[in-house]
Amino acid sequence: MFYDHSPFDDLKAVSEETVACFDGVCAEVEAEVVRICIAEDAPYSTMGPEAEAMIRNGLGFVTRMLRSAMIFAASGILENELEWGKTRLPVYGVSAKMVMTNFERYSNALEKRLPSQSFAEIKPYLDGMMNMQQRITNT
């Protein structure tokens, strides 16, 4: 999807210290978001019996793509994956709104665990992901 203004314009690579902090909290962040999804969203009704594993795998994928984008300031990685998800995830019973909600949860869980300086470096990437996902959700 091409936009006049990308939600990822002018991002800078994050520091090695921030990447290390991010790496240190991701497992807890993903686990928290999975727990919340299962408790609040009833994903089994749309995603089937593999819902928990699918959510866990999806969040792991988000973490890996986000990490790569932050290290190299390569926001195209995130744009491409969000576009892919727009087409592919509904096949698995995952709506654009579900993705948006989980991005918000992921961001909140990171903010709780990361030092404020590290979160401030990562936040523009999270905001870009959520802005683009909001555009996808609204289409």
The domain spans of the chain are: 16-138
- Residue 16 confidence class, pLDDT cut points 50, 70, 90: very high
In the prediction, which pLDDT does 2 show? 45
Residue ranges of the alpha helices (H) in 42-115? 44-47, 51-72, 76-88, 96-113
Q: Are 58 and 108 in contact (CB under 8 A)?
A: no
Report how far residue 101's alpha carbon sits from residue 119's, in angstroms, rounded to the nearest whole number.
19
pLDDT at 9 over 70: no
User: Is the pTM of the predicted complex or chain greater than 0.75?
Assistant: yes
Phi and psi at residue 3, in whole multiples of 5°? -120, 155
d(CA 121, CA 116): 9
Judge whether residue 4 has pLDDT over 70: no
pLDDT tens, 19-70?
Answer: 999 999 999 999 999 999 999 998 999 999 999 999 999 999 999 999 999 9
pLDDT at 78 exceeding the cut of 50: yes
As its CATH architecture, domain 16-138 has Orthogonal Bundle (1.10)
